[in-house]
Amino acid sequence: MRVAILGASGTIGSQLVREALDRGHSVIAVVRRPEAAEGLPAAAEVRLADVDDPAALRAAVAGAEAVITALGGGASGRPQLVAEAAPVLLAELAAAGVPRLLVVGGAGSLEDEPGKQLVDSPEFPAAWRPGSLAQRDALDVYRAYQGPLEWTYLSPADVIEPGERTGSYELGEDRPVRDAAGNSRISVADYAVAMIDELEQPRFSGTRFTVGYA
């Protein structure tokens, strides 16, 4: 499959590039600046685009059978980027004839109890709140979408960090996956496994799901 990955130079984006290539997919790695492509596998086709330039974005994803967006604005001090990008992605990908969008989402909108999202808890880390609220806003945009694009939003576990690729994980929907000790975690590598699994065998079109270790 030919897949374009936005935010391909980031921690999660670069792992998605490697996982997709390792499985034999053709990857378009979309980055904002040429120097951001340093360190990406040579097998990836690098294209330049910024979500703030819809025409460039449309050109960058041309020919892709699916797009995975791993965009995030936290590092640049613009956490609301993911929410601002959501309607642009839906419009421009549909205009480019791309049928599917898979979204690297946030965990804050998961619910430990019905109607009680993690991000609204007093215990939720303050440093994570702006990005989590932006991700929640983005999810609302996707859920309200009525167009032809098939979207899927993958929330990670509470804690996602570099670690071993085990190839194993448990699936959830709107509640975090927790282990026997109550911890919710996933490695970046296994998150990428879950995303490319969904790319290859769609099970959550038009909805959100989550992954973690049980």
CATH number at residue 68: 3.40.50.720
* Residues 57-73 pLDDT 10s: 999 999 999 999 999 87
Radius of gyration of the chain (CA): 16
Q: pLDDT grade, residue 74 (50/70/90)?
A: low
Looking at the DSSP assignment, which residues form a beta bridge with residue 185?
Answer: 159
Count of structural domains, the chain = 1
Separation of alpha carbons 126 and 160, rounded Å:
17
How much is the mean pLDDT over the chain? 95
Q: What are phi and psi of 53, to 5 degrees?
A: -120, 90
Using the predicted structure, report yes or no on whether residue 76 has a pLDDT greater than 80: no
- Local structure of 87: helix, strand or coil: helix
Cβ proximity of 156 and 107 under 8 Å:
yes
Q: What is the pLDDT of residue 148?
A: 94
Separation of alpha carbons 106 and 96, rounded Å:
26
Q: What is the pLDDT of residue 43?
A: 97
Looking at the DSSP assignment, which residues form a beta bridge with residue 210?
Answer: 155, 172
Q: What is the pLDDT of residue 99?
A: 97
> What is the helix, strand, coil percentage profile of the chain, to 5?
35, 25, 45
Using the predicted structure, report yes or no on whether residue 75 has a pLDDT greater than 70: no
pTM to 2 decimals?
0.96
- Local structure of 42: helix, strand or coil: coil
Q: What is the pLDDT of residue 78?
A: 84
Picking from 112, 203, 213, the residue whose alpha carbon sits closest to that of residue 167 is: 213
Using the predicted structure, report yes or no on whether residue 79 has a pLDDT greater than 90: no
In which domain, by residue range, is 83 found? Answer: 2-212
Q: What is the pLDDT of residue 72?
A: 84
